[in-house]
Amino acid sequence: MFILDLILSLWRSLAGLVWFSNQNFPKSLSVYIRSNDGKKLSVDLDPKWDIKSVKEIVGPKLGLEAEEIKIILAGKELDDSTIIEEIDLGEQSTVYCVPLDHKGKTKQKSVNKILVNLPEEEVITFHVACSHCHGIKHGKLRVRCAECKSGAITVDRDPASWSDVLNPSLISGHCEEQGCAAGPVAWCEFYFRCKEHVSADDIAIPLPLIHANLRSIPCLACNDVRDPVVVFECSDRHTICLECFGRYASIRLRERSFVFSRQYGYTLACPAGCEGSFITEPHHFRILLQTEYELYQRFAAEECVLQGGGVLCPRPGCGAGIFPDDDCNRVACQCGYVFCKRCLEGFHIGECGERDSAAEGGTSGGYSVDPARAAQARWDEASKRTIKVSTKPCPKCRIPTERDGGCMHMLCARCTFEWCWVCQTEWTRDCMGSHWFG
């Protein structure tokens, strides 16, 4: 009997599926409806429906009449006549449904559109750095209550600029979440979501330098009019297309010629070299390939250590950043390597200078080994020797430097010190006069 029941219910559900597909739903959108008392429903909506139909479906599920509720998305109450596919509602988005408080409602422009002062019919896109998708993606603007983090909030004033969006506590709102301490006097907190992956709660970082090229400005580098573009914050507001920006960042990264700014970190300025044009939000460098971005992060961390007076552990494969004591030259890295702060060779007593590399490497294991054979059996020996023979350390930061032709005037790519390959000290006019080219 039980088995029969099971088969019957299976059959019914199968039939239900068939019946459902017969309805010929064009493309259903699965969204969450959250009420202000914490209830959460999942509903499938037809993108062609208007908000009134949504209310008719959702209201009864919350025990309310359709006329008694309002639907809130991104800080705005949605008008009954709004069609779902016209608003910025993605798969598995959350909209808020709260009881109506009898205020007269007016049709409101969506926050997204007011922000850039666009006519309603234009489609605008925000760009965000998404840590999930590893790159620059389209984003959508959302609002929540700064107090209780609920999205059941309506804004009192529309944001008029990026600063309204990026700084919390500039725009007030009315939080309709039950039990929220802020209630009708809440601060609005704007945030972004990545549009390109379905996410419940991960937040994307807005990239305010990336603009839609509404003014058809040609790119500084390729001269084409492209969309979108990166607009730098210099007085000329120099503009470069996103693709050229990617090339710019990639080329500068490989030359290790990003700039370390105390205020903004490891960054780039406008390619025309304008004053005050540093990129202040480093997530714009998400334009780099993932491997390049990891390199960027490494360089940035190393630069931060070096600029702060620290050293990097010279052991191959380690490179940990260490801030040594001022009064001691002996630095012990967590990896176990102990080295001299000044010459970055294995630690030694007395002055820095040439030493037999066999003296490095710590305690003897107690075995007697033929020294000649041991010397041949060193994995890194060949590359170590190559580095020793073909490079000279920068007199300031000690980084091994190779001279690839050209003159003797060296510019350290790591610490920007200008030095002479021959004298191994600072470059002078005398160097230029007597051995500029050797």
What is the spatial distance between Cα 131 and Cα 134, in angstroms, rounded to a whole number? 5
Q: Which of 274, 407, 412, 423 is catalytic?
A: 407
What beta strand segments (E) does 18-134 contain? 29-35, 40-45, 69-73, 76-77, 94-99, 126-130
Nearest distance from C-beta of residue 428 to other proteins, angstroms? 10
CA angle at 98 for the pair 96 and 103, rounded to the nearest 5°:
120
Nearer to other proteins, 248 or 293 (CB): 248
Nearest distance from C-beta of residue 276 to other proteins, angstroms? 16
What is the helix, strand, coil percentage profile of the chain, to 5? 25, 25, 50
> How is residue 313 written in tokens?
């552990």
What is the spatial distance between Cα 58 and Cα 69, in angstroms, rounded to a whole number? 9
Q: Which residues bind other proteins (CB under 8 A)?
A: 220-224, 238, 240, 243-244, 247-248, 251-252, 271-273, 405-407, 409-411, 418, 429, 432-433, 436-438
What beta strand segments (E) does 146-242 contain? 153-155, 172-175, 186-194, 205-206, 210-211, 229-231, 239-241
Q: Are 248 and 221 in contact (CB under 8 A)?
A: yes
Nearest distance from C-beta of residue 221 to other proteins, angstroms? 5
> How is residue 189 written in tokens?
């907190």
Nearer to other proteins, 244 or 287 (CB): 244
168: left (phi over 0), alpha (psi -120 to 50) or beta: beta
Nearest distance from C-beta of residue 223 to other proteins, angstroms? 5
Nearer to other proteins, 387 or 411 (CB): 411
Q: Are 96 and 151 in contact (CB under 8 A)?
A: yes
Nearest distance from C-beta of residue 218 to other proteins, angstroms? 10
What is the spatial distance between Cα 409 and Cα 428, in angstroms, rounded to a whole number? 9
Nearer to other proteins, 350 or 433 (CB): 433
CA gyration radius, the chain:
31
Nearer to other proteins, 120 or 201 (CB): 120
CA distances to 24, 136, 192 from 286, rounded to whole Å, are 41, 6, 16
CA distances to 16, 46, 244, 296, 399 from 347, rounded to whole Å, are 77, 71, 46, 30, 17
Nearest distance from C-beta of residue 111 to other proteins, angstroms? 25
Residue from 172, 143, 152, 150 nearest 70 by CA: 152
Nearer to other proteins, 66 or 225 (CB): 225
Catalytic annotation on 420?
A: no
Nearest distance from C-beta of residue 141 to other proteins, angstroms? 23
Nearer to other proteins, 323 or 436 (CB): 436
The residues annotated with a catalytic role in the active site are: 407
